[in-house]
C-alpha cells in the first residue's frame, strides 16, 4: 500500500485556499500511484480555529469543503481533518475528526478522544471526546486512525484515564495513522519522536505520522512528519519548516507489515539539532506567515543600536526582504554615539535604507509643557518612559501613514519583569523575540553571524542599556542576565516556587524581588502584541495568570 504524507501549510478559515491546496496534493498523489493520501489535523479549516467553531456558517463551510474533496477521491483515498457535528444532543456539539474519503464519498469518520486543555490548547472548550473506537478498512486492511493527542498518553503519570490505541489494537490493525497539529517549541521535536517511538514499541505497529507546517499568528508548526516501522525506527522523515509531500510503501502480508520502503532515504537533519537553528527557522516562518496570511508586505521597527532590535531587524530582512523592512533610528540626548553608528553599520551590512528621527526637540517640548505640573520634581521613570512613548508614537505614525506593520523588539526577560514601557517600546503588531530570554537573544545573534558579520560585533559586545538617562545600564536595576534568566526559567518554564528556586542556590532577597516583578507586571503583558511561540511556556495563551491576585509563590 502506497501512502502519501501531505505536510502542508494551512490558513485558518481560508476554505478556498486550503481546499485548492488539498486537491492539488491529491492530484499529485494520484500521478504517483498513491493508495491513500493523509493530511494534518483540522486541515480543512486550519488549526486552531478557536471561536470560529461557534459559528454555524464556519462549520457549514467545513462540511462543504469535505464534500468537494470527497468527490475527487476516486482511485485514491484521503484522510482529512475537520470539525464534525455530534449527532446526539448530549455533550459538546462538535468532534475534532478525521474524515476517511474514498470512492467519491465520506466512508467513515474517526473522532478524537483525548482533548488537550493545557498550554496553548483549549480543545475541550469546543469538542466532545470520542468514547467509541474502531479501525477503518481499506483494501482489505484495517487501519488504526488516531488524531494527535490520542498517542500522547503513555507517560508514567498519564494525563488521561485511557489510551484509544488500547481499544483499536484489539481489532488487529496493520498500522497506525496519526494526523497532528503539534505546536513547535525548540525542545518539542525530540519529545515528539520519543512519543511515537514509544507507541510503535508498545503496539508493535508501524506509524504514519502526518504533521502540518506553518504559523498561525503566535503558534508555529514545524512539520517533521515521519514514518516508523513496528520496531520504532524512523524510516522516513519529512523536512522541517517546509511544505512537502512524500511517499512510503507498506508491504503487507497476512495483515502484517513486513517491509517499509520510501521514495527517498532518511536524511539526518543535523542542522536542526541545534537549539538556535530551530528557533531561527521558527521565527522566520512566524514572521513570513503572519505577513503573508494577513496580506501585509511592509514592516517597520525601531533600531536602537541594541541587541534586541538588531536581531529582529536581521530576522525581518531575511523573512520579508530588505526593501520591505524600514529601520528607524530615534536617538535622544542620552543615546551614545555608537548606538546610531552601530545601527547604520548594520543597515549597510544588509544593504538596506533607514530613517533617522532625533527625538530631543520633541522630548523638550513635552518637558516644557509638563514642567508646571511636575513643578521641579526630580527626573525619574516618568521622563524615561516619555522618551520611549515618543519613539512609539513616531513609529506608529509612520506605520499608519505608509501601512507598515510595526515589529516589536522586546525580549522575554524584559516582559517578565516589566522592563518595558506600555504604549512605548511595547507597541507593535507582532512580537518577534518575546519568547526569547535575553541570553537566548545573544545566542541567536551569534547564530545569525555564524557565516558573516550581519550584526556588528559591538552591538553584541557592549553592555545592554535602554539609554533613557545618563550612563544607564540594564545592570543598574536588574541582576546579570544569566542569573535573571535562570531564575525566570525555573519560575515560568519549570513552574518552581519561591522556596524551590531559593533551594536551587539563588539569593533569597533577589528571588523575592524578581518574582514580585513578574507578578505585578502581568497587567502589561495582557496588553502586549502576539508573541511567536518558540518555548514550552510563552507569554500569552500558553501562560494564563490573573492580573489582580495575591499569591506568594
| 135 catalytically annotated | no
Mutual angle of helices 56-71 and 15-31, in 10-degree steps: 20
Catalytic entry in 45, 148, 163, 427: 148
Alpha carbon distance 41, 385 (integer Å): 45
Angle at 15 between CA 150 and CA 74, to 5 degrees: 75
Measured from the Cβ of residue 389, the count of other Cβ atoms closer than 10 Å reads: 18
| 190 catalytically annotated | no
Contact yes or no for 407/429 (Cβ under 8 A): yes
What are the beta bridge partners of residue 213?
222
| 41 catalytically annotated | yes
Q: Distances from the Cα of 268 to the Cαs of 188, 197, 238, 278, 541, in angstroms? A: 17, 17, 10, 14, 33
Q: What is the dihedral of CA 348, 350, 353, 357, to 10 degrees?
A: -70
Q: Which residue blocks in 204-325 are alpha helix, DSSP H?
A: 275-294, 307-320
Edge-to-edge strand order for the sheet containing 405-408? 355-356, 325-329, 299-302, 405-408, 430-431
CB contact burial 405-435 (16+ within 10 A = b; e otherwise):
bbbbbbbbbbbbbbbbbbebbbbbbbbbbbb
Contact yes or no for 330/321 (Cβ under 8 A): no
Supply the DSSP string of 334-394, one letter for each residue.
Answer: T--HHHHHHHHHHHHHHT---EE---HHHHHHHHHHHHHHHTTPPP-HHHHHHHHHHHHHH
Contact yes or no for 298/326 (Cβ under 8 A): yes
Contact yes or no for 474/466 (Cβ under 8 A): yes
Chain-centre distance for alpha carbon 120? 10
Contact yes or no for 186/538 (Cβ under 8 A): no
3-state SS class at 249: strand
Containing H/E element for 406? strand 405-408
Catalytic entry in 41, 128, 149, 384: 41
Contact yes or no for 340/331 (Cβ under 8 A): yes
Alpha carbon distance 531, 435 (integer Å): 7
Containing H/E element for 177? strand 175-179
Catalytic entry in 21, 112, 345, 496: 112
**Rama region for 281: left / alpha / beta (φ>0; ψ in -120 to 50; rest):** alpha
Active site residues: 41, 112, 148
Amino acid at each position: 500500500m502506497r501512502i502519501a504524507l501531505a505536510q502542508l501549510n494551512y490558513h485558518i478559515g481560508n476554505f478556498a485556499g486550503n481546499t485548492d491546496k488539498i486537491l492539488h496534493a491529491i492530484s499529485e498523489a494520484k500521478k504517483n500511484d498513491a493508495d491513500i493520501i493523509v493530511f494534518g489535523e483540522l486541515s480543512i479549516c486550519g488549526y486552531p480555529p478557536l471561536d470560529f467553531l461557534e459559528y454555524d456558517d464556519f462549520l457549514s463551510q467545513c462540511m462543504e469543503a469535505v464534500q468537494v474533496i470527497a468527490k475527487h477521491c476516486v482511485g485514491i483515498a484521503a484522510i482529512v481533518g475537520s470539525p464534525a457535528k455530534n449527532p446526539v444532543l448530549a455533550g459538546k456539539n462538535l468532534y475534532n475528526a478525521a474524515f476517511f474519503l474514498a470512492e467519491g464519498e465520506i466512508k467513515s469518520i474517526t473522532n478524537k478522544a483525548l482533548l488537550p486543555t493545557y498550554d496553548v490548547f483549549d480543545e475541550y472548550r469546543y469538542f466532545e471526546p470520542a468514547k467509541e473506537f474502531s479501525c477503518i478498512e481499506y483494501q482489505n486492511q484495517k487501519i488504526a486512525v488516531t488524531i494527535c493527542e490520542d498517542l500522547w498518553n503513555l507517560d508514567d503519570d498519564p494525563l488521561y484515564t485511557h489510551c484509544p490505541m488500547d481499544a483499536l489494537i484489539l481489532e488487529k490493525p496493520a498500522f497506525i495513522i496519526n494526523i497532528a497539529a503539534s505546536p513547535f517549541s525548540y525542545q518539542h521535536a525530540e519529545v515528539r519522536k520519543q512519543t511515537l517511538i514509544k507507541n510503535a514499541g508498545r503496539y508493535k505497529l508501524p506509524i504514519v505520522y502526518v504533521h502540518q507546517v506553518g504559523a498561525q499568528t503566535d503558534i508555529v508548526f514545524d512539520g517533521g512528519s515521519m514514518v516508523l516501522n513496528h520496531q520504532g525506527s524512523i524510516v522516513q522523515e519529512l523536512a522541517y519548516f517546509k511544505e512537502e509531500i512524500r511517499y512510503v510503501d507498506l508491504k503487507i502480508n497476512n495483515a502484517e507489515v513486513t517491509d517499509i520502503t520510501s521514495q527517498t532515504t532518511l536524511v539526518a537533519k543535523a542542522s536542526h539539532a541545534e537549539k538556535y537553528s530551530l528557533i531561527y527557522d521558527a521565527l522566520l516562518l512566524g514572521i513570513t506567515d503572519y505577513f503573508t496570511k494577513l496580506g501585509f508586505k511592509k514592516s517597520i521597527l525601531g533600531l536602537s543600536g541594541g541587541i534586541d532590535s538588531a536581531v529582529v531587524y536581521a530576522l525581518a530582512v531575511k523573512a520579508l526582504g530588505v526593501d520591505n523592512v524600514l529601520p528607524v533610528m530615534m536617538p535622544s540626548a542620552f543615546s551614545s554615539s555608537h548606538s546610531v553608528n552601530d545601527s547604520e553599520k548594520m543597515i549597510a551590512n544588509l544593504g538596506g535604507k533607514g530613517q533617522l528621527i532625533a527625538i530631543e526637540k520633541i522630548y523638550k517640548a513635552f518637558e516644557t509643557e509638563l514642567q508646571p505640573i511636575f513643578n521641579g520634581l526630580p527626573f525619574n521613570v516618568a521622563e524615561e518612559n516619555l522618551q520611549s512613548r515618543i519613539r512609539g508614537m513616531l513609529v506608529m505614525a509612520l506605520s499608519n501613514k505608509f501601512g507598515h506593520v510595526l515589529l516589536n523588539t522586546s525580549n522575554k526577560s524584559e516582559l517578565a519583569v516589566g522592563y518595558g514601557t506600555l504604549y512605548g517600546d511595547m507597541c507593535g503588531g507582532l512580537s518577534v523575540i518575546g519568547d526569547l530570554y535575553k541570553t537566548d537573544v545573544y545566542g541567536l545573534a551569534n547564530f545569525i553571524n555564524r557565516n558573516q558579520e550581519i550584526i556588528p560585533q559591538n552591538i553584541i559586545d557592549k553592555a545592554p542599556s535602554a539609554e533613557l538617562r545618563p550612563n544607564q545600564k540594564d545592570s543598574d536595576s536588574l541582576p546579570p542576565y544569566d542569573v535573571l534568566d535562570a531564575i525566570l526559567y525555573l519560575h515560568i518554564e519549570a513552574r518552581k516556587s519561591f522556596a524551590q528556586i531559593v533551594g536551587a542556590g539563588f539569593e533569597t532577597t533577589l528571588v523575592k524581588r524578581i518574582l514580585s516583578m513578574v507578578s505585578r507586571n502581568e497587567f502589561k503583558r495582557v496588553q502586549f502584541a502576539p508573541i511567536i511561540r518558540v518555548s514550552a511556556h510563552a507569554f500569552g495563551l500558553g501562560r494564563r495568570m490573573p492580573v489582580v491576585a495575591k499569591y506568594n509563590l
